[in-house]
Structure 1
């Protein structure tokens, strides 16, 4: 069992819907258990109170709650992508399912959960040994919503 598990609160009984959709984004994703509401548990008896699930080897808990909790991008789920194609696929999927772009690789899904969709190759430019080039790369990133690895590379190289 994973010692620390990210717990995500969903309003309007959307936990099951959100989890089912997340499962479509990652190959090795699955629901590991569901805890239904029981009498006197502030929900409809039989509906899911908690959905435990795994995405890419990481355990999460989705809980159905009220609208008292709010998500913002100060806490996000970072997805390290091996290629620009993976960045594009995930970004497009979030947008097509009602998500909203934020900035610098952050995107909120339709439930307000914030994600960072990040090409791991960008780090070599943003933290590269040429400090002036790295500043250009960082400034290019600041101007982006979805991260464009080639754009960051071009800025680093002064193109």
Structure 2
């Protein structure tokens, strides 16, 4: 039987089920899957949640209650590709209002410490423009932002 793509495994310290429910509530095309529980074999408390499978925005994940040994950092992040400023605002505001922490250039950490990039559609085209002056103006504008403002980035790109 062929492998079924990739599944991203997220390590939590007791919040796996809560986090899975949270991510499923944020994104379209999402659903909860199987829940595995610790048995008498341990190491967790028998009956407590070991792992939760879920799909968020079509991407497969498993959230594991592995303990305090490992935490998230900015070395890994997830990009949320947004179609328009309204969608950028929705995701950015939801993550931050729910206890997340705003960062520079469209990056943020959610309430669990996981890093996200909220990216408006078309940004990569502006930053990768063959006209290096336009691309540089766009990048300079982006570096001054927390939540990305596509209209402001387009104005910077145009030299306005």
Q: Name 2:136's counterpart in structure 1.
A: 135
Contact 1:29 1:56 in 2 (8 A): yes
Q: Name 2:51's counterpart in structure 1.
A: 50
Q: Name 2:103's counterpart in structure 1.
A: 102
- The Cα shift of 1:42 comes to 1.7
What is the TM-score of this pair, normalised by structure 2?
0.94
Q: Name 1:5's counterpart in structure 2.
A: 7
Contact 1:73 1:106 in 2 (8 A): no
What is the TM-score of this pair, normalised by structure 1?
0.94
Contact 2:134 2:158 in 1 (8 A): yes
What does 1:23-62 correspond to in 2, within 5 Å? 23-62=24-63
- The unaligned stretches of length 5 or more in structure 2 are none
Paired residues in the alignment total 158
- The unaligned stretches of length 5 or more in structure 1 are none
Contact 1:2 1:59 in 2 (8 A): no
Q: Secondary structure at the match of 1:117?
A: strand
Separation in structure 2 between the aligned mates of residue 97 and residue 10 of structure 1, nearest angstrom? 18
Separation in structure 2 between the aligned mates of residue 157 and residue 94 of structure 1, nearest angstrom? 31
Contact 1:14 1:64 in 2 (8 A): yes
Separation in structure 2 between the aligned mates of residue 37 and residue 52 of structure 1, nearest angstrom? 15
